[in-house]
A and B are shown apart, each in its own frame.
Chain A
Amino acid sequence: MWPNKFDYVRAGSVDEALSSITDDGKFLAGGHSLLPVMKLRLDAPEQLVDIGRIPELQGISANGGLTIGAAATHDAIASSADVQAMCSALASACGQVGDQGVRNFGTLGGNIAHADPASDPPTVLVACGATVNIQGADGARSVGAEDFFVDLFETALDDGELITSVSLPNCSDCQCAYVKFPHPASRYAIVGVAVCLKMDGGTCAQADVAVGGATVKAVKCAGAEAALAGTTLDDAALNAAAEAVKSDIADWLAGDIAYPESYRQQMAGVFLKRAVAAAQG
């Protein structure tokens, strides 16, 4: 409720943001993850560099694939026709973040930089093979989403680096979905499953699957993908995939007092089936 003292700088450009940030400083985007932890005094940056209004970080563009500015809000993403067309699972995930007030402020860049294990968007980014574009004092680099998320609240970002945008391939020819089992208290994900299916007639040519919420980070699930690929997504395939997904995430499980790891692991199987059904529906 009563954060420690800090300085505040509003940056007008990416260059200004990168040159302003100090060792004990943090970027401030929507503030919906950072400010709560500061109010609880669990974090006490001495400086906030507000990047929320930098023009280069805004906007969503569709050009073969999608490029989403780091400061695009969850609401902007959920309601973007381009995102709905090219990656409906991401639109769905962003539309399920918190409530409308949270979606109006929270940004994609802030969400993935914070890397809360129960977040929704990272699961889709990992499933759909997104790329995170990063700018630092020493130049720009890009990291695949799977490598970007390292562990609980831990990413590949180095100190002082800024996420500028996230790129996604065009999945408009896939059947994709994000299905979430919301935690009754926080409404974050107990488990969230993203699937992206390339269908060839009645057969699944390729399946991309990721799980979040039940895990310390969004995890790509190769076992489940293999169980689905080449099948007609019949019950046997779904049951096999539901079993496989539990092994895929076994090393990364997360839980809390009310919804322990073992339960979430089982639910990943249930919600994988539901995600496949939603993708096909």
Chain B
Amino acid sequence: MTTRIFGSGIKRREDPRLITGEALYTDDIKLPGVLHMAVVRSPYAHANIVSIDSAAAEAMEGVVAVYTSDDIGDGLAGLPTAWLIPDSDLKTPEHPALAKGKVRYVGDGVAIVLADDRYRAQDAADAVVVEYEELPAVIDPEEAAQEGAPLIHDDVEGNIAFRWAPFDKEASDKVFADADVVVSERILQQRLLPTAMEPRSAMAQYNAATAELTLWCTSQNPHIHRFIISAVTGLNENKVRVIAPEVGGGFGSKIPCYPDEALVSWAAIKLGVPVKWTETRSENYLITIHGRDHVQHVDMAASSDGKILGVRATVYAGMGGYLSTAAPGIPTILHGLLYVGPYTIDSVYCESIGVMTNGTPTDAYRGAGRPEATFLLERMVDNVAREIGMDPAEVRRKNLIPAFEDGYEVAAGLSYDSGDYPAAFEKALGMAGYGDFRRQQKSAMAEGRHLGIGVTAYTEMCGLGPSQVAGAVGFQGGLWESATVRVTPTGKVQALIGASPHGQGSETTLAQIIADELGFPVDDIEVIHGDTTETPMGWGTYGSRTTPVTGAALAVASQKLKEKARVLAAHLMEANVDDIEYADGSFSVKGSPDQAQSIQDVALMAHLAWNMPEGMDPGFEESQFYDPPNFVYPFGTHIAIVEVDAETGEIELQRYIAVDDCGPQINPEIVAGQIHGGVVQGVAQALCEGAVYDENGQLLTGTMMDYCMPKADMFPNFELGETVTPSPHHPIGVKGVGETGTIASTPTVYNAVLDALAPLGVKQLDMPLTSAKVWSAIQDANGGGS
């Protein structure tokens, strides 16, 4: 018997350094002689650059240089778009690191200033005089796709960057034509600002003698950053080292390679001194990618007794001024393929239109495409329920896919790995006391109080993913991971991974996997990540993939190493391998328990190599590449109970129940933490967050005075439950849990609020559901309580 640390909620080993402020972030790294870069940014959303006069700035104290795109010339290639979705007539307009002749969103870089001090750099940036000829701007993606809209890129006709519609339209149309019931809604997925706690930062150092560039930057995927920086600077990839030190959250916003990282690299090469740039929070809101931004026209077809027959949507997805690194894949592959959800829906259709606008570029934001799919599905299920007069929970129950253990093909083309949706669903309904609630709701209404309940059943696709699929859908990379498990002569473990966690607690979780598979105490295991020179290749931390994919690589590497140890132990104890027994980090010979070798002893002997079995190499280290055979599909049911104050329109979230199934939980505390954070982020989309532009493309929510981040006192204690359905194709059965909370919670709370408002006659509202909007809607519906 072996004691397992799998399943134990040990404390996050990351926390002491994070909580005490000892963690080392990019901006904390100080190099002698560093120059500070400030970027002159466009105050206009759309304008021609008439002239740039940097003379005054260049003359200022401490200023070393001011550069524009003319100075860079072909010193930097344009930033690539790395998700080239097929069969969509994709256009990838040039994205220069500094604007060439034209700016396309507020914050687009126009010039850079390099100075010996950050304050002086900013002073000089303010002194650069740029003359603009303002052009009409367009922010709404549906408007931008209409004829006559301002043209943003000459080579992107009609502002349409792609049109992706892989499903059979005729078949879908027929389902809708024949259906008893069709419900329709125009849904806005508002723009969201990812707001990682640490803003972005980059510092580059170039050694002319070795021709090597080191770039420290806030990255979720340093190996992808290295690949792109190599491509844009022209340096060989083996001469570029990218280091992501501590990274303070990303939520997707630190996946892309931005102009700023390219610019510090170029300037460091040009000037031969290190160059650093750290964005301010205001800059972060203007230039770091935004999430969502869909206008969705959605229909759902159903029979009059509540069987869902089909779903279809036309989605205008705002791409912003340029196509960010992974942008085209988000509203397409990660969105339209999810339209079946956990239901037996036989017909899906999605036309996703990627539209250039004069907003900040959009890209993956926690959930990335899947929250937008889950929302529309769950919203429409509630609409069907209302239309046919059936309880929304009953409609869901009727349509859930029955339990399956190994593979279930859905109409959208995916093959779900495993699931027991009804079990999670019934468990959540039980925890919420659903039936009782409906009675309470009625009696509260008699007292003039407006309670509502929202139920979301979801499944999502994560643990990205099989590389062959990545290739087939145009992702310009693989989606495998690699890892090395290295044991030192004194029996301590270093696990080197290509992925790059940034706050998730993966150092703890992954150490738990190794501890179980290899038999070392968890505290003797270090997980090392973030440096392209130290770590093996990997594609990064996003898409809820680090535990499923890197975790699998580590599990297999550890298993291989343990097998080596078993053979060596047998040799050292002069026993037959088949007679070796293993328990709790120690090998012994069957029948003679006094003869034992600890795994540490074996590791030492492997290093010394004094007495190896025939054909066995010395050393105690294994590497493993792991390419998942399929995605993993976590699932669950979330329920929210809200009360709306009809006098003010305020919403109180009274209860939040989340039953999630991510397979066996390695560390339940960390799983709970991921769900808590995800739920908060998703609820915030429903209730308070939303980036707003004016008609000229100025971001009105440019600071947290206006952009409403969620706050702890908005939330009740979450009631978490779980079911455990292992993934059949994963070495240790685990699924991802990084995005589930965000994916499930937005429609849950939205539907709860609309449930509360239904008796007042309010049927639809755009997110976020601010009190002002709710109150006005109540007034308009004429059912107001005030």
Contact of B705 among A5, A185, A259, A263 (CB under 8 A): A185
Contact of B119 among A5, A40, A186, A257 (CB under 8 A): A5
Contact B772 A263 (CB under 8 A): yes
Interface residues of A in 211-263 (CB under 8 A from B): 256-260, 263
Contact A185 B688 (CB under 8 A): yes
Contact of A185 among B126, B280, B708 (CB under 8 A): B708
In whole angstroms, how far apart are the Cα atoms of A173 and B114 in the complex? Answer: 64
* Given A2-B119, A257-B692, A258-B770: A186 touches B648 (CB 8 Å cut-off): no
- The reply to whether the CB of A267 lies closer than 8 angstroms to some CB of chain B is yes
In whole angstroms, how far apart are the Cα atoms of A258 and B701 in the complex? Answer: 10
Contact B770 A259 (CB under 8 A): yes
| B-side contacts of A258, CB under 8 Å | 692, 706, 708, 770, 772
* Given A2-B280, A267-B648, A270-B648: A260 touches B704 (CB 8 Å cut-off): no
Contact B772 A260 (CB under 8 A): yes
B101 → chain A closest CB, angstroms: 27
In whole angstroms, how far apart are the Cα atoms of A266 and B646 in the complex? Answer: 13
Interface residues of A in 18-63 (CB under 8 A from B): 40-41
Contact of B770 among A3, A41, A184, A188 (CB under 8 A): A184
| A-side contacts of B714, CB under 8 Å | 184
A236 → chain B closest CB, angstroms: 16
- The reply to whether the CB of B12 lies closer than 8 angstroms to some CB of chain A is no
| B-side contacts of A105, CB under 8 Å | none
- The reply to whether the CB of B647 lies closer than 8 angstroms to some CB of chain A is yes
A106 → chain B closest CB, angstroms: 15
| B-side contacts of A41, CB under 8 Å | 122, 126
Q: Mark A1-23, 1 if CB is under 8 A from B, else 0.
A: 11111000000000000000000
Contact A184 B708 (CB under 8 A): yes
- The reply to whether the CB of B775 lies closer than 8 angstroms to some CB of chain A is yes
- The reply to whether the CB of B282 lies closer than 8 angstroms to some CB of chain A is yes
A98 → chain B closest CB, angstroms: 12
* Given A41-B126, A257-B692, A257-B700: A181 touches B648 (CB 8 Å cut-off): yes
- The prevalent SS among residues of B at the interface is loop
Contact of B280 among A1, A186, A259, A270 (CB under 8 A): A1
Q: Mark B106-124, 1 if CB is under 8 A from A, else 0.
A: 0000000000001100110
In whole angstroms, how far apart are the Cα atoms of A188 and B14 in the complex? Answer: 35
Contact B706 A256 (CB under 8 A): yes
In whole angstroms, how far apart are the Cα atoms of A154 and B81 in the complex? Answer: 50
In whole angstroms, how far apart are the Cα atoms of A21 and B692 in the complex? Answer: 40
In whole angstroms, how far apart are the Cα atoms of A257 and B703 in the complex? Answer: 13
- The reply to whether the CB of B281 lies closer than 8 angstroms to some CB of chain A is yes
- The reply to whether the CB of B207 lies closer than 8 angstroms to some CB of chain A is no
| B-side contacts of A2, CB under 8 Å | 118-119, 122, 280
In whole angstroms, how far apart are the Cα atoms of A5 and B786 in the complex? Answer: 52
Contact A263 B280 (CB under 8 A): no
Contact B705 A1 (CB under 8 A): no
Contact of A263 among B692, B707, B776 (CB under 8 A): B776
| B-side contacts of A266, CB under 8 Å | 775, 786
A172 → chain B closest CB, angstroms: 31
- The reply to whether the CB of B709 lies closer than 8 angstroms to some CB of chain A is yes
* Given A181-B648, A270-B648: A186 touches B775 (CB 8 Å cut-off): no
| A-side contacts of B703, CB under 8 Å | 40
- Which residue of chain A lies nearest to B714 when distances are taken between CB atoms in the complex? A184
B side interface size, CB within 8 A: 29
| B-side contacts of A185, CB under 8 Å | 688, 704-709
In whole angstroms, how far apart are the Cα atoms of A1 and B708 in the complex? Answer: 20
A side interface size, CB within 8 A: 22
Contact B706 A257 (CB under 8 A): yes
| B-side contacts of A257, CB under 8 Å | 692, 700-701, 706
In whole angstroms, how far apart are the Cα atoms of A263 and B688 in the complex? Answer: 17
- Which residue of chain A lies nearest to B649 when distances are taken between CB atoms in the complex? A263
B563 → chain A closest CB, angstroms: 54
- Which residue of chain B lies nearest to A118 when distances are taken between CB atoms in the complex? B705
In whole angstroms, how far apart are the Cα atoms of A187 and B775 in the complex? Answer: 19
Contact of A1 among B281, B706, B772, B776 (CB under 8 A): B281
Contact of A186 among B282, B706, B771, B786 (CB under 8 A): B706
Contact B772 A5 (CB under 8 A): no
In whole angstroms, how far apart are the Cα atoms of A267 and B772 in the complex? Answer: 10
| A-side contacts of B280, CB under 8 Å | 1-2
Contact of B772 among A4, A186, A187, A259 (CB under 8 A): A259
In whole angstroms, how far apart are the Cα atoms of A158 and B751 in the complex? Answer: 54
In whole angstroms, how far apart are the Cα atoms of A150 and B711 in the complex? Answer: 34
| B-side contacts of A259, CB under 8 Å | 770-772
In this complex, the member of A2, A41, A181 whose beta carbon has the largest number of chain B beta carbons within 10 angstroms is: A2
A39 → chain B closest CB, angstroms: 8
| B-side contacts of A184, CB under 8 Å | 688, 708, 711, 714, 770-771
Contact B123 A5 (CB under 8 A): yes
* Given A257-B701, A258-B770: A263 touches B706 (CB 8 Å cut-off): no
| B-side contacts of A260, CB under 8 Å | 772
B694 → chain A closest CB, angstroms: 9
B195 → chain A closest CB, angstroms: 12
- Which residue of chain B lies nearest to A255 when distances are taken between CB atoms in the complex? B772
B359 → chain A closest CB, angstroms: 16
In whole angstroms, how far apart are the Cα atoms of A270 and B786 in the complex? Answer: 8
| A-side contacts of B704, CB under 8 Å | 185-186
In whole angstroms, how far apart are the Cα atoms of A41 and B280 in the complex? Answer: 12
| A-side contacts of B126, CB under 8 Å | 41
In this complex, the member of A185, A259, A267, A270 whose beta carbon has the largest number of chain B beta carbons within 10 angstroms is: A185
| B-side contacts of A1, CB under 8 Å | 280-282
B20 → chain A closest CB, angstroms: 19
| A-side contacts of B118, CB under 8 Å | 2
B215 → chain A closest CB, angstroms: 22
In whole angstroms, how far apart are the Cα atoms of A113 and B119 in the complex? Answer: 28
Contact of B647 among A5, A256, A270 (CB under 8 A): A270
| B-side contacts of A5, CB under 8 Å | 119, 123
In whole angstroms, how far apart are the Cα atoms of A40 and B776 in the complex? Answer: 34
* Given A184-B770, A185-B688: A40 touches B708 (CB 8 Å cut-off): no
In whole angstroms, how far apart are the Cα atoms of A107 and B468 in the complex? Answer: 63
In whole angstroms, how far apart are the Cα atoms of A74 and B351 in the complex? Answer: 56
Interface residues of B in 683-716 (CB under 8 A from A): 688, 692, 700-701, 703-709, 711, 714
Interface residues of A in 139-195 (CB under 8 A from B): 181, 184-188
In whole angstroms, how far apart are the Cα atoms of A40 and B714 in the complex? Answer: 29
Interface CB pairs A-B, < 8 A, 26: A1-B281, A1-B282, A2-B118, A2-B119, A2-B280, A40-B282, A181-B648, A184-B708, A184-B770, A185-B688, A185-B705, A185-B707, A185-B708, A186-B705, A188-B705, A257-B692, A257-B701, A258-B706, A258-B770, A258-B772, A259-B770, A260-B772, A263-B775, A266-B775, A270-B648, A270-B786
Query: 7 smallest A-B Cβ distances: which pairs?
Result: A185-B708, A1-B280, A2-B122, A263-B772, A186-B705, A184-B708, A259-B772
Q: Which B positions have Cβ atoms within 8 angstroms of A? A: 118-119, 122-123, 126, 280-282, 647-648, 688, 692, 700-701, 703-709, 711, 714, 770-772, 775-776, 786
Besides the known contacts A2-B119, A256-B706, A259-B771, 15 further A-B residue pairs in the complex with CB atoms under 8 A apart: A2-B122, A2-B280, A4-B123, A5-B123, A40-B282, A40-B703, A185-B704, A185-B707, A186-B706, A187-B711, A188-B705, A257-B700, A257-B701, A263-B775, A266-B775
